Amino acid sequence: MGRIFVVVAAAVLGFAAHAQSWPSKPVRVVVPWPPGQATDIAARLVGQKLQEAFGQPFVMDNKPGAGGTIGTEIVVKSPNDGYTLLAFSSGPISIAPVVQKTSYDPLRDLAPVAITTVTSYALVTAPSFPARDARELVALLRANPDKYTFSSSGAGATTHLIVEAFNAAAGVKARHIPYKGSVPALTDVMNGQVSFTIETLASTVPHIRSGKLKAYGVSLARRSLALPELAPLAEAADLPGFDIGGWIGYAAPAGTPREVVARLAAEIAKALQSADLRERFVNIGLDAVSMTPEESIAFIRKDQARYAEIVRAANIKLAD
């Protein structure tokens, strides 16, 4: 019994010593999206603050593909020593596991550290679209079931599910036109080939500002700092309770020492108080938030359940 106690005590002390000395070398941050995408930019901004705080490089490693699931799988299979982290977001975490088979369970195989930003989505049409405001748009769609179309960046993508949630809340029917990415999806809305979509502020704000898109409201139930003049759809379209959007944060492989996760979470929370970081987030259509690991887990669990209900209600099925 004494020998077992000594072994266990040594292991505990070893973990504590590891956590105190961490990081003693560069930390790899896997970004499961291409450079320049919102998750990539947000992760780099936070990573720079972490590098300054810990005195070690936080090296971004872009591993895009399969809607973010490839990079996520890499982190899930990585050593849980604190030297591999994941820039995670709603697509591969809240949505992918409910629309397709994934090799990972986010809340079993990952240790969320912090959700750092949320992003609202804007309901947009071509400038020539006849509805003057969100209520008129909803009335027009309701009066003409399946006449109008909406685009998305792909079947089962966040945009697709958010529009399905909007359609259900508004009691309208429109035909889905999936694209391979948000750029072609928005291009065909701008030129009038597709009636409408609901896309990220990061993607839509430049076109709204230039007059190439007409905006009717944002998907979250509060105004976004990136476009404060645009009212929430819950208010603008008279859809009480409509409140949905995307998010970005940091996670580690499950089993990463709690002390390491706690140190990371504390430094991220501190970084998110800086005015320069919050301003840079706003400039790319993101609003800073600061969730603890426990709050992040609860948020993700709720987010997954919401998207699972959207998938079920819209009868969305993707090939394995």
At residue 6, what is the residue type? Answer: V
Which of 177, 175, 172, 188 lies closest to 136 in space, CA to CA?
172
Cβ atoms of 248 and 119 closer than 8 Å: yes
Distance, CA of 245 to chain centre: 8
| Spatial separation of the C-alpha atoms in residues 175 and 309, rounded to whole Å | 20
- Coil, strand or helix: which one is 75? helix
Amino acid at 71: G
What's the burial of 306, exposed, middle or buried (CB within 10 Å: 0-12/13-18/19+)? middle
Contacts of residue 31, defined as CB under 8 A and 6 or more positions apart, other chains included, come to: 39, 40, 43, 60, 61, 62, 63, 64, 71, 87
Q: Residue 13 to residues 10, 17, 256, 314: CA-CA distances in angstroms?
A: 5, 6, 15, 52
CA pair distance 166, 169, nearest whole angstrom: 5
Q: Tell me: the pLDDT tens digits for 139-172?
A: 999 999 999 999 998 888 899 999 999 999 999 9
DSSP class of residue 232 equals B
Cβ–Cβ < 8 Å for 118, 246: yes
- Kindly report, residue by residue over 169-223, the tens digit of the pLDDT: 999 999 999 998 888 999 999 999 999 999 999 889 999 999 999 999 999 999 9
Please report, in tens digits, the pLDDT of each residue of the chain (320 residues total). 555 544 444 444 455 555 679 999 999 999 999 898 889 999 999 999 999 999 999 999 999 988 899 999 999 999 999 999 999 999 999 999 998 899 999 999 999 999 999 999 999 999 999 999 999 999 999 999 999 999 998 888 899 999 999 999 999 999 999 998 888 999 999 999 999 999 999 889 999 999 999 999 999 999 999 899 999 999 999 999 999 999 999 999 999 999 999 999 999 999 999 999 999 999 888 999 999 999 999 999 999 999 999 999 998 877 65
Structural domains for the chain:
27-116+245-314 (3.40.190.150), 121-236 (3.40.190.10)
Nearest-angstrom CA–CA distance, 215 and 121: 10
Spatial distance between the Cα atoms of 47 and 56, rounded to a whole number of angstroms: 10
Q: Which residue in the block uniquely carries the two structure tokens 């597709």?
A: 194
How far is residue 264's CA from residue 113's CA, in Å, rounded to a whole number?
Answer: 7
Distance separating alpha carbons of residues 268 and 286, to the nearest angstrom? 16
With b for 16 or more beta-carbon neighbours within 10 A and e for fewer, the 58-75 pattern comes to: bebebbbeebbbebbbbb
What are the strands, taking DSSP E only, across 102-245?
A: 110-119, 121-125, 149-152, 175-178, 196-200, 214-218
What's the distance, CA 102 to chain centroid?
Answer: 18
Whole-number Å distance between alpha carbons of 197 and 189: 7
CA dist 235 and 50 (Å) reads 38
| Measured distance CA(305)–CA(12) in Å, rounded | 36
